[in-house]
Amino acid sequence: MLEAQRISILFGQRTVLNEASFGLETGEIIALLGPNGAGKTTLIRALNRTLPVAHGEIRLDGKRLAELSRREIAKRIAVVAQENETKFPVTVLEFVLSGRFVHGGAFGWESESDIEIARRSLCDCDLSEFADRFMNELSGGERQRVVLARALATGANILLLDEPTANLDLAHQALMFRLVRERCREKGASAIVITHDLNLAAEFADRVLLLSGGRVLTAGPPAEVLTVENISSVFAVDVLLDENPVTGNVRVTGLF
Amino acid sequence: MLWFGSLLALLLVVVLIIGAMFGAERISLTELSVQQQAILFDIRLPRVFLAAFVGASLAAAGAGLQALLRNPLAEPYLLGVSNGAALGMMLAFVLFENVEFLRPVMAFIGAVVATIVVYQMAKSRTGMTVERLVLSGVIVTTFLSSVIVLFTSLLDAAKLRSFTFWLLGDLSQTTRSGVYLCLVAAVVGIIVLGSQARALNLMMIGERDALDFGVEVGRVRLLVFGASALLVGASVAASGSVGYVGLVVPHIVRLASGSDNRSVIPFSALAGASFVILADLIARVAIAPRELPVGAITALIGAPVFIFLLRRN
């Protein structure tokens, strides 16, 4: 669906991302792992063209991303970014409805179906009673769920999630991943998720992309990528690997 | 929301009638002497309508700029946009005294240049904070004020007095061409702003969010800056710098109707029209038969609101 071919991104003279290549298939969830400053957020921003690519090419369903309009890109790709505070009193429902922007005309008001979609995705994210609350009254975790609800409400079939679970309690982390996985398995969507939780990545991701110093170090199924050698070289910390006794997936424990 | 819009429209009609009736000479709308007819049709009505168009323009421009810049304190007067227009107007006045149509054109150009300068100054690599924008506005405003003061020294005493009044925001020198100019600018400007209202809802949340969710940010910025400069340029050319309208009015409208720009922009226009008509009425009757500049009245109301908003931020 989405394919990056040797893309490089520069901030001034500095190369933040260096010839990264990978493809995202239908129904797939990719976890993007790597230390702070590895270029994870930069990569995600390039994938919906909110950052320009210096070299290389990104294709969305075979079409060059550079040739698509913002509207066309937003119809296909939804983003859950790290949070953003607004100075104006915006209600939760208004916030989620802003995700329906590309489906309306310029003067357009939302249709009944837009409002129904927004309410359904609030309900999915366990936020039904929050519809009329103001965004700046919510806790960090609640806001993060609203941001996910907005991304789901867009109807886009590619989700780019930048640390979506950073402020969430255990139950809501599970809810978030169940929702993303449902989208991918049942509706043919696919997702790229940045996370620092290696065990979560091992549990839910089909593939893991390990980024370090702006390069894709290695990519593949979690069990192949999450090795003692890879992790200790990228994160510069000793780890213990074993098997999760319930799911059988690889389990990482940092040795501090 | 419909009830609030209807209420504002009703208020505007009532205020228009009151504005036409009261003044240095009280006019009964049922029985008019010839002299009163002349006052009503040649002086009072054009002035009341100009006040309405100026108020609508400034309030809508304020609402648009606030959403675009994600800053409830953004206001054409405080950002220096009004002073930019005033300097443009002044240059036209000094350099091409007899070419009347150049004045609003130069006012528009001045507003555009001031907008660009403030925006560039306020922008930094880490984004644009409320304080940075307000400070940039203050710097541009004071700089432009001093340039304007330098130019006023070129004027003779009679011109100087009318010019000083005009600078403070003054509706006493209303001309028919000024009324028509402001009507056209208000209609075009407010329609353009309204057409971007839904995109502004996303811009208000964050520029990054707007990009992510399909807004052509550059185009929206261009249209909103252009429309605001048109609205402010025409208003300043016709009535000088009437301050704080774009701050007070959208703030009150948001309290009543929420932050959705599809209602905030048109409602601000309606409420702004009433606000300036009333402020001008006070300016006309407070020390009748002498007059105060309307900008002094709006500033007396607006400055405390600004302080309140700044503290709450």
Contact A107 B130 (CB under 8 A): no
The pLDDT of residue B30: 78
Q: Is residue A192 a contact partner of residue A207, using CB atoms and an 8 Å limit?
A: no
pTM: 0.90
The pLDDT of residue B52: 97
> What is the token pair recorded at B267?
């409602």
> Is B37 exposed, middle or buried (CB count within 10 Å of its CB: 0-12, 13-18, 19+)?
exposed
State pLDDT tens for residues A165-207. Answer: 888 899 999 899 899 999 999 888 999 999 999 999 998 999 9
Contact A71 B313 (CB under 8 A): no
The pLDDT of residue A105: 64
- Contact of B262 with chain A, judged by CB distance below 8 Å, is answered with yes
Low-confidence stretches of chain B (pLDDT < 70) are 125-128, 313
Banded model confidence at residue A33, pLDDT cuts 50, 70, 90: very high
Q: Give B57 or A235, the one with higher predicted confidence.
A: B57
For B205, the closest of A75, A98, A154 (CB atoms) is A98
Contact A71 B216 (CB under 8 A): yes
State pLDDT tens for residues B75-129. Answer: 898 898 999 999 998 888 888 877 778 888 999 999 999 999 998 888 876 666 7
Instruction: Tell me which long-range contacts B182-185 makes (C-beta under 8 A, separation of at least 24).
Output: B182/B50, B182/B53, B182/B54, B182/B57, B182/B234, B182/B235, B182/B238, B182/B239, B183/B49, B183/B53, B184/B234, B185/B53, B185/B57, B185/B230, B185/B231, B185/B233, B185/B234, B185/B235
The pLDDT of residue B183: 96
Average pLDDT of the segment spanning A90-119: 87
Nearest residue of B to residue A71 by CA position? B214
Cα of first residue to Cα of last residue in chain B, in angstroms, is 27
- The percent of residues in chain A predicted with pLDDT above 70, rounded, is 98
Q: Is residue B212 a contact partner of residue A50, using CB atoms and an 8 Å limit?
A: yes
As a whole number of angstroms, the distance between CA B164 and CA B146 comes to 13
State pLDDT tens for residues A133-170. Answer: 999 889 888 999 999 999 999 999 999 999 988 888 99
Neighbours of A8 (CB within 10 A): 16
Contact A102 B213 (CB under 8 A): yes
Average pLDDT of the segment spanning A125-137: 92
Banded model confidence at residue A13, pLDDT cuts 50, 70, 90: confident
Considering only residues 196 to 225 of chain B, which have any Cβ-Cβ distance to chain A shorter than 8 Å?
196-199, 201-202, 204-206, 208-209, 211-217
As a whole number of angstroms, the distance between CA B52 and CA B17 comes to 12
For B214, the closest of A89, A101, A109 (CB atoms) is A101
